[in-house]
Structure 1
Amino acid sequence: MRRSSVVAIIAATMITASAGAAEAQQQMKRVQVGVLECRGAASIGFIVGSVTNLGCVLHVDGRPDDRYIAVIQKVGLDLGLTEQTGLAWNVFAPVAQLGQGDLSGTYAGADASATLGIGVGGNVLVGGSNNSIALQPVSVQGQVGVSIAAGLESLELRPGR
């Protein structure tokens, strides 16, 4: 019974986040400019939140990769330990072409994930310059470990090497 309740809560959170992002997307015309892929090492959930460091790359057709350093902070239920994390988002912006480092900034949104061995999750984030950039999951987050999380998430992107 508990497992079903947790899955239902995670699904509801993801649907709510997706609906909010879709509404924000309609209010501001955006075009997909590329895909942001992030990878990180181990992280530990501390009941009321966690911090995860990631290395990210923005892939845009016909352009050199644009590298970023990311810090994800979660507030809400976050229990467990993950050995590695991989995330990918479609990047939507008000212009068709971004310059090097243009994704830098702070993004916020809802997060939900569950892991037992291999797990999944999802998050939709909005932020960047004047909250004009949306990061929407390409598929779902993948991670390895044992954890459960649901709550609010912030992502800070800084230019990387």
Structure 2
Amino acid sequence: MRRSFATAWVAAAMLTASFATAQAQDRVRVGVLECRGGASIGFIVGSVTNLGCVLRADGMPEDRYVATIRKVGVDLGITEQSALAWVVYAPVAHIGPGDLSGNYAGAQGSASLGVGVGGNVLIGGSANSIALQPLSVQGQVGVNVAAGLESLELRPGR
């Protein structure tokens, strides 16, 4: 039973990643979304983490967002800090302030004992037109193991 669950989860993650890659190929690279946040406590069925984010794009002022990440699935432990970065792909080369606002979803997996890593590919925004692909793996400090589905809500920040 455990083996079939793990196989199904890996297949879903690979399918999500290949879908996101195909989606990104139809889009233009807009910039990089960098997010940082504080402590998060993982419960058996999931967790909620709040982050401050900045979209950095050539020729545009920094665009700030507040992010809420919700994980559903196995999530055990305490994370002291998190740093994530995604390459942002959109249907057009230039987007306006607040245009990344919306809901994103995808598969997620991470592990840490001290300093750890994780990765996630997310699709969403206005009419699911934005693809967020990991620039590099997420960094986190703490003791945590997580696997499941992840949602990201971006709201305009200050």
**Cα offset, 1:99, TM superposition:** 0.2
Once the two structures are superposed, the pairs formed by residues 1-161 of structure 1 within 5 Å of their partners are 15-26=14-25, 29-161=26-158
Deviation at 1:140, TM superposition (A): 0.3
**Amino-acid identity (%):** 70
**What amino acid is the match of 2:132?**
L
RMSD: 1.9
> 1:86 touches 1:143 (CA, 8 Å); kept in 2?
yes
When normalised by structure 2's length, the TM-score is 0.91
Shift of 1:11: 7.1
Asked whether the equivalents of residues 9 and 148 of structure 2 are also in contact (C-alpha less than 8 Å), the reply is no
- Please report how far the alpha carbon of residue 23 of structure 1 lies from its aligned counterpart in structure 2 after TM superposition: 3.0
Q: Aligned pairs, how many?
A: 153
**Kindly tell me: are residues 37 and 10 of structure 1, through their superposed partners in 2, closer, same or farther at Cα, counting changes over 3 Å?**
farther
Give, in whole Å, the separation in 1 of the partners of 2:101 and 2:53: 11
SS of the equivalent of 2:19 reads: helix
* Structure 1: unaligned runs, 5 residues or longer: 1-7
- Contact 1:13/1:150 (<8 A) preserved: no
> Unmatched 5+ residue regions in structure 2?
1-6
Corresponding letter in the other structure for 2:153: E
Aligned partners of 1:104 and 1:156 also within 8 Å:
yes
1:64-110 Cα distance to aligned partner (Å, 9 max, x none) = 10000000000001000000000000000000000000000000001
Alpha-carbon contact 2:106-2:120 (below 8 Å) kept: yes
Please report how far the alpha carbon of residue 63 of structure 1 lies from its aligned counterpart in structure 2 after TM superposition.
1.2
Large movers: runs of 4+ above 6 Å: 8-13
